[in-house]
Amino acid sequence: MTLKALWVAGIGMALAVTGWTQTAPDPQLMQEINRIAAIDDHTHVPKVVAPGEKDDDYDALPCAPLEPTADPTMVRPDNPLFLQAWKALYGYKYNDKTPDHLRELRATRERVQREQGEHFPAWVLDKLNIRTMLANRIAMGPGLAPPRFLWVPYDDALLVPLNNQPLASENPDRKFFFSREEMLLQRYLKESGLNAVPATLNDYVARVVEPTLERQKKAGAVAIKFEAAYLRTLNFGEPNRAQAEQAYAHYAAGGTPAKGEYLALQDVLFREIARAAGRLGLAVHIHTGAGCGGYFDIAGSNPELLDSVLDDPSLRQTKFVLLHGGSGPYSKVTAFLLGKPNVYTDFSEQDWMLSPRALSVVIRDWLEWYPEKVMFGTDLYPGNSPEYDWDSIGYMIASTGRQALGLALTGMMQDGEISRARAVELAHMVLFDNAAKLYGLKH
C-alpha cells in the first residue's frame, strides 16, 4: 500500500472510531468562529509589486521551478470554494466559470488593486477576518507593514557555510534548493560586513549567525523559519562540538566535506541558531510533514526526528513551532510532541490539502491532548493566475480551517467532552489567543 493510501486509510479509520454523526458544525458555534478575527500563524503572502516587477522573496525555496507534480484535489480550480471566494471578495455574480465571467472577475480584481494600492493586502485580511498574518518571507515589502503583517525570515542559509555538493547532488530539487540557500547566505554575509565565511566555527557563530538574528529581530521578526526538511533529514543528532569545529576549520577555505562531516556540523549549527533565537525571544518555526516536489523525503520530515533537539535542556527557553503539524502521516506524532513545554503547532498546509471533514479529525485529536498549543494557519501563497491567486486561495483555506475547527468542536460537544462555553473558549484559543500569547501580541 502506498504512503498516500495509508494516510487516507488512517483518516478513514479515525472517522469510523469517533463515530461522528454530524454532517455540519453547530450553527451557533460557527457564527462565533466566523466572528473571531484570527492570527494566521504561517503564510507566504506576496508584497504589492509595481507593473512588471516580480516578488522573489515570498519563499526561500519556491516550488514553482521544480519538476511539475499534481496539485492536491482541494486546491484544484474545480473546488467550489473558489466560487465562494470570488463572491465574498469581489462580488462575483455567477455560479459558473465561463471565459467572459472570468474576464469580468479579473477586471474587478484589477480595479480593487488599483484603488487599494499598498493597502490591498490589508484589505484582503479584512475580507478573510484575519487580524494579523505572519509573513514567512526573505524580506518584507510594500503593503506588508506591521501590525497587520509580522515577519518570519528564513535561516536555513546559516546551516550551509561550506561546499554543499554532497547534499545538493542527491536529487534535482535539492540542487536548485541549495543554489537558493547559497545566494541567501551571501546576502547574510554581506549584511554582516563579510565577503567570505570566517575561518573558525566560533567566529562564524559570533560574526554571522548571531548578528543575522539580531538584525532580523531589530527589523521586526517574531520568529525564524527552517525549511530544513527540503535540504536534509530533520534528525539533527546529538552534537559533537569538537568534530564540528574540526570539519568547519578544514573546509571553510575550500574543499568538499563528506556528507557525514557536514551533517555533524549542521547538528551543532542548528542548536547554535535555535539557542540564539531563544535568547532574542524569537520562536523557531520548522517545516514538518508533506512538502512539494517529486523528490521530497517524507520520512525525513517526521517531527519525531527532532526529539534530541526538543529534549535539549539548553534549548528549553526556545519555543518551537511544528509548522503544518506533521501534515500527512505525522499528525499523531505531533499530538504527543505538544506535551513538551516549549512545542507548539498549527494546521497550516493541512487546510489546503484536506477537506474540512478530514482536517477536523486532526484538529480534534490535538484539542483532546493539548489545546493551548494549537494555532490556526493557512500557508497561503501566490497563485498562477489572477483568479487563483493568494487572496482567493487564502479565502478557500481559511474557510476550510474554520469549518474544520467547527466540526471538531461540535463533535466534542455532542460526545459530552466539552460544554458549549468551553467550545467557544477553545475556538478563541485556536484562532487567536494561543498565537497572541506565544508571540507576545496584544489582545
Q: Is residue 404 part of a domain?
A: yes
361: domain CATH number is 3.20.20.140
Nearest in space to 135 (alpha carbons), one of 40, 69, 51:
40
Cell of residue 58, nine digits: 515570498
Grid look-up 484562532 returns 431
How many Cβ atoms from other residues are within 10 Å of residue 298's Cβ? 17
Asked whether 150 and 120 are in contact (CB, 8 A), the reply is no
Predicted local distance difference test score (pLDDT) of residue 342: 98
Predicted local distance difference test score (pLDDT) of residue 238: 92
Q: Is residue 1 part of a domain?
A: no
351: which residues sit within 8 A by CB, 6+ positions away? 359, 377, 378, 379, 397, 398, 400, 401, 404
For CA atoms 220, 428, 374, 5, give the dihedral sign: negative
CA distance 206 to 213: 11
Q: Is residue 39 part of a domain?
A: yes
- Cis, bond preceding 147 (omega within 30 deg of 0): yes
pLDDT < 70 regions, the chain: 1-22
How many Cβ atoms from other residues are within 10 Å of residue 268's Cβ? 22
DSSP state of 51: T
Predicted local distance difference test score (pLDDT) of residue 23: 73
Compute the mean pLDDT over every residue in the chain, rounded to the nearest whole number.
Answer: 94
Q: Is residue 381 part of a domain?
A: yes
Strands of the sheet with 283-289, listed across from one edge: 223-226, 283-289, 320-327, 343-346, 374-375
Rounded to a whole number, what is the distance in angstroms from the first to the last CA of the chain? 47
SS3 at position 38: strand
Q: Which residues are paired to 226 by β-bridges?
A: 286
Q: What is the number of structural domains in the chain?
A: 1
Q: Which residues are paired to 41 by β-bridges?
A: none
How many Cβ atoms from other residues are within 10 Å of residue 35's Cβ? 11
For CA atoms 303, 304, 306, 307, give the dihedral sign: positive
Q: Is residue 135 part of a domain?
A: yes
Q: Is residue 85 part of a domain?
A: yes
Asked whether 379 and 42 are in contact (CB, 8 A), the reply is yes
Predicted local distance difference test score (pLDDT) of residue 22: 58
CA distance 364 to 411: 8
Full residue range of the structural domain in which residue 111 is found = 21-439
Cell of residue 392, nine digits: 482567493
Residue 218 parent element (H or E): helix 210-218
Asked whether 414 and 22 are in contact (CB, 8 A), the reply is yes
How many Cβ atoms from other residues are within 10 Å of residue 75's Cβ? 17
DSSP state of 325: E
Q: Is residue 114 part of a domain?
A: yes
Q: Is residue 213 part of a domain?
A: yes
CA distance 133 to 41: 7
CA distance 288 to 304: 10
